Structure 1
Amino acid sequence: MDNCIFCKIISGEIPSSKVYEDDKVLAFLDISQATKGHTLVIPKEHVRNILEMSAETAETVFSRVPKIARAVQKATGAIGMNILNNNEEVAGQTVFHAHIHLVPRYGADDGIHMGFDEHEPDFAALANLADSIAKEVTE
């Protein structure tokens, strides 16, 4: 895509701090650095997000994530890592080229706060929702 910043990084039109590259995947440091070592893993093929990604592209990209994540963790000394992906604007996606965030974690005071509200589950509603989703899953 002509206006895609990640496509411009892939082509070398825009510089990046690369940490990994092969013929299908590129990983580079995010310029925002939510924490030290914050890395983006992207397919070289332009695809909007995971919701539009083929199984082949997903297999290629996600098969590289553990190796890159371990390298980031080792190089930074992080004690944990969030591996995140946002799909569409409502979910926080701001660059519409699929990418996975590797966010190293250093402790509870590293500036990243994630959590979920605990509540009593409605198991019947969960079962109904699971059935609806399962019916939509196709190969």
Structure 2
Amino acid sequence: MFCGVVAGGVPAFRVADTPDGVAFLDIRPVFKGHVLVVPRPHVDDLPGLPGELLPGFFALVRRLAAAVPDALGAQGTFVAMNNVVSQSVPHLHAHVVPRTKGDGLRGFFWPRTRYADDAEATGYAERIAAVLAGG
């Protein structure tokens, strides 16, 4: 599924598309603006990520961790990655979740929500992409 997003055959609300990876909105976000970051080549999990791809991939994750609060007025982010257990899609992906003090997220219980429609999701994706682009 994520390989299809990277290739462009599976629709997604893209936030970033770089040589190091692709970032797009999670369709079942913990909080609206929850972004998934995947490496461009298919890699099952973090232990399988070739060392030469590590710097670029994590630089993209770091950029998203900075952009999401600026774009959405959040106070910070929660950045997480599952490897095999609880990994619903067998393609390495980092979660970048907007956080605000008192938002109700506790531990590793991740309640999920949905966007009202594609227009709302597009708006979130565009706001994050604009901050990434420096605007």
TM interval, short-chain normalised: 0.7 to 0.9
Shift of 1:73: 1.1
Match of 2:99 among 81, 86, 105: 105
| SS at 1:60 equivalent | helix
Q: How big is each residue's C-alpha offset from its partner over 1:49-108, in whole Å with a ceiling of 9 and x where there is no partner? A: 10111111122200112212211111111112110000012xx11111000000111222
| SS at 1:26 equivalent | strand
8 Å Cα contact 1:36/1:76 also seen in 2: no
| SS at 2:15 equivalent | strand
Report the TM-score, using the length of structure 2 for normalisation: 0.75
Q: % of aligned pairs identical?
A: 37
Q: How many angstroms apart in 2 are the aligned matches of 1:22 and 1:47?
A: 16
Aligned residues: 108
Alignment of 1:76-87 (within 5 A): 76-87=72-83
Q: How many angstroms apart in 2 are the aligned matches of 1:60 and 1:80?
A: 22
Match of 2:107 among 114, 122, 128: 114
Flag as ranges the 4+ runs of structure 1 deviating above 4 A.
none
Q: How big is each residue's C-alpha offset from its partner over 1:18-46, in whole Å with a ceiling of 9 and x where there is no partner? A: 11111231001111110121001110100
Structure 1, unaligned runs of 5 or more: 116-139
Match of 1:34 among 30, 43, 49: 30
Match of 1:96 among 90, 103, 108: 90
CA RMSD of aligned residues (A): 1.3
Q: Work out which of the two has the higher radius of gyration on C-alpha atoms and give 1 or 2.
A: 1
Alignment of 1:118-129 (within 5 A): none
8 Å Cα contact 2:20/2:60 also seen in 1: no
Residue in 2 aligned with 1:8? Answer: 4
1:74 aligns with 2:70: yes
